[in-house]
Structure 1
Amino acid sequence: MASVSDTVASPFRGFTLREWQQHYRSAPDSLRTTLSLVLASLSETDTAWIYLATAEQLEAQITRLETLRDQAEGSLSALPLFGVPFAVKDNMDIAGWPTTAACPAFAYTADADATVIANLKAKGAVVIGKTNLDQFATGLVGTRSPYGAVRNTFNPEYVSGGSSSGSASVLARGLVAFSLGTDTAGSGRVPAGFNNIVGLKPTKGWLSNTGVVPACRLNDTVSIFALTVADAQIVAHAAGGYDAADAYSRKNPHTAPVALPAQPRIAVPDRLEFFGDTQAEAAFNQALDHLRHHGVTLEPIDFTPFRELAEQLYYGAWVAERTVAVGEIFEESPEAMDPVVRGIVANGVNYTACDAWRAEYLRAELARKIHLALEGFDALVVPTSPTIRTQEELVQEPVLYNSQFGIYTNFTNLADLSALALPAGLRADGLPAGITLIAPAWHDDALANFGRQWQRSLSLPLGATGFTMKPEEFMTATPVNAACVRVAVVGAHLTGMPLNFQLTSRHAVRVEQTTTAATYKLYALANTTPPKPGLVRAEGGSTIIVELWDIPLARFGEFVAEIPAPLGIGSLELADGRIVKGFICEPWAISGATDITAFGGWRSYLHSLNSSPVKS
């Protein structure tokens, strides 16, 4: 491992995934020198780290990665994270590395990689070190660790947020390309808000918890920190997937939208609490104004059930889950634990099995109220945290101020919701402000796609790196998501047309308007209700205007089942060469139809009918 005196400045500081990919394309043989330089740039005295890879551990990963590259015959398409360094919260296992959960007496050497680590390594990523945390992931502050408090990356007098404090800190400073945290009560969001980075809190069960030290197994999720939303989304898909070895893992039903509508309807709490922090309040109001300016409709909702459910996580029988998770160390060596963490865990023994069942019934009732309250909305927006505190303030009030940080986060996993914490600019005092978007389970991609637009519209600095996103980061086309089918519609299913509801009622989202390749003819079909066109590939054709819609995969079949003859769904070529599913017409129906190809699209044809002079 590099010593402190050996550390050097890394030329790769603040690299996004796109920049890492460009680097290896331009220097394909630099894997070993690049990662050695990254490791040498890290300091053992940095309290954000608990453990840095040894030279041997780094070499073992590089050797394995070179083998994967050779098996792919030099192509990196199957290794989208090739050579990308990342950090891991030290409550996740890496084979042959120590796992401490920030408690030295608890430490053990892991026999195997946690599933998420194995998944990321299989995509080419390289673990560079393990990060500090509030002990046993108990806290939202980043100060409850024998390895030292992790300080805010913008002002060291303030807290970093926790429990994933180290992962947020090293990512915000651009020391790694992405990092993993965990999130039970907000640990993957509060540190993101305090350090001006993206925190993706996935749907429970999407990312496996095999090989992760539990805090509350029913509510734990592995979370992603990144400088950009696009990077967080890519990493989540690389790390996620069903794991039969995790009893709480589950398969994506593919029924949720993969994007929000162009003009989303977003809920906001009817009563907001900032605990006297006027700068936090001003920053959130400014964020709401920015949302309105970009076409978002904001409507207040009763926040009472959200607040009541949030209180249950630490002030009800749910705390006993933490007591179970800590287990032997609490029973046999309580003095080895952080005093604040020990006090919280000790409360769990005061509850009975009857209390636990009552707590579960209350959770279910409040969760139902929350889901009903969110019906008709595309998301809920809240401050990531209502306030921030100094290190000294946390010494004076370690439990109260921790509790304040969680009022907009604690309910999320209990109610089975997905969440995305986003940077929202800097306050007047120079500290970051953040917002969080929350939606039902499996709406992760919908939130991420909106988050990409949000980040593009603000052009904020990336974490604490001092860099901003480069224009090319915004130039990528909206990707086709495996959880949906992209369909080109040409007639009665267009926006505002009579059958468009068949798309919107299935959570389909409009992606863009474009044209087909210049090889299609469009016909107005006879005797159809409502009137419909037919699209046919033919010589002498032209480009035809279409809309692209993403339909959740599980809803595609029922959509197709409603399509009457002579129409059907086939493969359609677009002007830019993309192939998508789209409406096609059986040739026999053309004999009695009117050729309207010259109009270039269905809307123009209908407009010509409406604007034709009335004959007397």
Structure 2
Amino acid sequence: MTATAGLAPDTASPPVTPTPEGPGPTLGPSIEDLLTAYRSGERTPTDTVLAVLAAIDERGADGTWITVVERDRLLRRARDMEQHTDPTTLPLYGIPFGVKDSLDVAGLPTTLACPEFAYVPDSTAPAVQRLIDAGAICIGKTNLDQFATGLNGTRTPYPVPRSVYGQGLISGGSSSGSALAVALGQVPFAVATDTAGSGRVPPALNGIVGYKPSRGLLSTVGLVPACRSLDCVTLIAGRVADLTVPFDVMAAVDLDDPYTRERRPDTTPSSDVRVGLPDPDELQFFGDNVMRDAHLTARALLRQVCSTVDAPLAPFTAAGELLYAGPWVAERLTEFRDFVTDHADAIVPVVRDILQGGSRYDALDVFAAQHRLGELKAQVAHLWQQMDVLVLPTIGTTFTVDEVLADPIATNTVLGHYTHFGNLLDLCGVAVPAGLTTDGRPVSLMILGPALADDRILALAAAWSAAIRSTR
């Protein structure tokens, strides 16, 4: 029923497959481009499916996809779309997309980048099913850091993906394949997840847009949990508009999801939004002065187009430190405890060590961490009275694949410096491309808002993306 995209797993050590050096993302047609072409008869969903398959075949085993739907099945789906009596009723008619391989799609293996863990579900995750019901065409399942544990994209038994900016840079994780499928122009959007930054770090490293909604707006039913209380289904796209269309389709209350909640429209004009900016001395770039200069240059543009206020960063980063230095690591182990015990050799070593580390926490640690997090949430709630959004770097620096493999824990901590606290503090966020450093690496701004401020941050992301493009 399915075919793998030439990716042979090797559980002994993650293979590094070099890919051609690239100057950055090469975006394919947008959702609106495709819909317009379909309406005019210039293109059909079959044409799109054939183009996507050709692009995937041309790249070969580059670490983007784990499973690609069989050609005949995709073509049948495209032809079914072409027989629809009224395509205008389908907001995603004939639009191809990818799904991170921690979410279920009926008939496709769910592997979490661990072949020994794989199973084939009978049903599709509701959030993904809503896309399919709206006319979208699922191309397949994308690569990830194993068990969605990591922000760097190297923790996989499949070929290690690399950033489209070349220079040996990592693609970011855990949603590495979802980001690359978009940045390579194969699909206009992909479904990902974000527990500690996985839906924002890979887009930042590939020059595209990543959106982490407020937890509960997109159903997590059919998602194999990383940390069930923090997990969030997310979207990655090349353009902000290609986030908002699928988000509108996917956002719905799901009473089978214990964390579900209803979307709250926000009509605050962008010009009235107060933007919180920390003092530059509070920002951490880990010795990467080139990245610091590039971030401050991008941030200066924001000061020209919106009202800004000073915002302390300390309560946010203090919350982030709880994620991997606190008992939430134990929550990861609850899902995979039996598998870790019975199949330890099937797990990438650094992932195994992280999961097993959860066993050192007890109930006292859990309550102490919850109390500390409650204190920090109260501090942050006061800050939202003074600002409407907070703007930070998405990442403070970049790493090469070799640097990450040499020091996997420390580099991962650095990559999550600005993202680890997002779900702990119940925030929503969008990572937006903001140009390049002088040595050709991607720069990304992150717009964060309180829970249910999703419409606000998406509107700002669209406005600021346009301003940054016009400046460049």
Q: Above 0.5 in TM-score?
A: yes
1:233 pairs with one of 236, 241, 244: 244
- 2: CA distance between counterparts of 1:214 and 1:221? 9
Aligned length: 447
Instruction: Tell me the C-alpha RMSD between the 2 structures.
Output: 1.9
In the alignment, what sits opposite 1:410?
420
**AA aligned opposite 2:28:** G
Alignment map for 1:396-435 (pairs within 5 Å): 396-435=406-445
- 2: CA distance between counterparts of 1:293 and 1:98? 49
1:47 pairs with one of 46, 63, 69: 63
1:273 aligns with 2:273: no
In the alignment, what sits opposite 2:446?
436
Alignment map for 1:40-189 (pairs within 5 Å): 40-43=54-57, 44-62=60-78, 64-66=80-82, 69-70=84-85, 74=86, 76-189=87-200
- Structure 1 residues 14 and 51: alpha-carbon distance in aligned structure 2, compared to 1, 3 A threshold: same
Secondary structure (helix, strand or coil) at the match of 2:386 reads: coil
- 2: CA distance between counterparts of 1:260 and 1:385? 28
**AA aligned opposite 1:42:** I
Which structure's relative contact order is higher, taking Cα pairs within 8 Å and 6+ residues apart? 2
Please state how far the C-alpha of 1:298 moved relative to its aligned partner: 2.6
Show CA shifts across 1:280-320 (max 9, x none): 101110111100121x2333322221111001111111111
Please state how far the C-alpha of 1:355 moved relative to its aligned partner: 1.4
Secondary structure (helix, strand or coil) at the match of 2:52 reads: helix
Please state how far the C-alpha of 1:372 moved relative to its aligned partner: 1.3
- Structure 1 residues 257 and 54: alpha-carbon distance in aligned structure 2, compared to 1, 3 A threshold: same
1:38 aligns with 2:38: no
- Whether the aligned pair in 1 keeps the contact of 2:27 and 2:183 (CA below 8 Å) is no
In the alignment, what sits opposite 1:514?
none
Please state how far the C-alpha of 1:65 moved relative to its aligned partner: 3.2
Please state how far the C-alpha of 1:64 moved relative to its aligned partner: 4.7
1:264 aligns with 2:273: yes
Show CA shifts across 1:371-425 (max 9, x none): 2122221100000001111111111110001001111111110011110110000
- Whether the aligned pair in 1 keeps the contact of 2:45 and 2:95 (CA below 8 Å) is no
Alignment map for 1:340-359 (pairs within 5 Å): 340-359=350-369
Please state how far the C-alpha of 1:155 moved relative to its aligned partner: 1.2
Q: Give unpaired runs (5+ residues) of structure 1.
A: 5-11, 462-467, 469-616
**AA aligned opposite 1:262:** S
1:371 aligns with 2:381: yes
- 1: CA distance between counterparts of 2:43 and 2:234? 32
- 1: CA distance between counterparts of 2:269 and 2:276? 13
**AA aligned opposite 1:226:** A
Alignment map for 1:181-260 (pairs within 5 Å): 181-252=192-263, 254=264, 257-260=266-269
- Whether the aligned pair in 2 keeps the contact of 1:277 and 1:387 (CA below 8 Å) is yes
Please state how far the C-alpha of 1:156 moved relative to its aligned partner: 4.8
2:370 pairs with one of 360, 374, 377: 360
- 2: CA distance between counterparts of 1:38 and 1:205? 31
1:288 aligns with 2:299: yes
**AA aligned opposite 1:321:** E
Show CA shifts across 1:446-489 (max 9, x none): 1111111111112279xxxxxx9xxxxxxxxxxxxxxxxxxxxx
- 1: CA distance between counterparts of 2:334 and 2:269? 39
Secondary structure (helix, strand or coil) at the match of 2:297 reads: helix
- 2: CA distance between counterparts of 1:459 and 1:89? 29
- 2: CA distance between counterparts of 1:3 and 1:278? 39
Please state how far the C-alpha of 1:269 moved relative to its aligned partner: 2.3
1:307 aligns with 2:317: yes
Which is strand-richer, 1 or 2? 1
- Whether the aligned pair in 1 keeps the contact of 2:428 and 2:449 (CA below 8 Å) is yes
Could you say which structure has the larger radius of gyration?
1
Please state how far the C-alpha of 1:18 moved relative to its aligned partner: 1.1
Please state how far the C-alpha of 1:273 moved relative to its aligned partner: 0.7
Secondary structure (helix, strand or coil) at the match of 2:49 reads: helix
Please state how far the C-alpha of 1:46 moved relative to its aligned partner: 2.2
**AA aligned opposite 1:25:** R
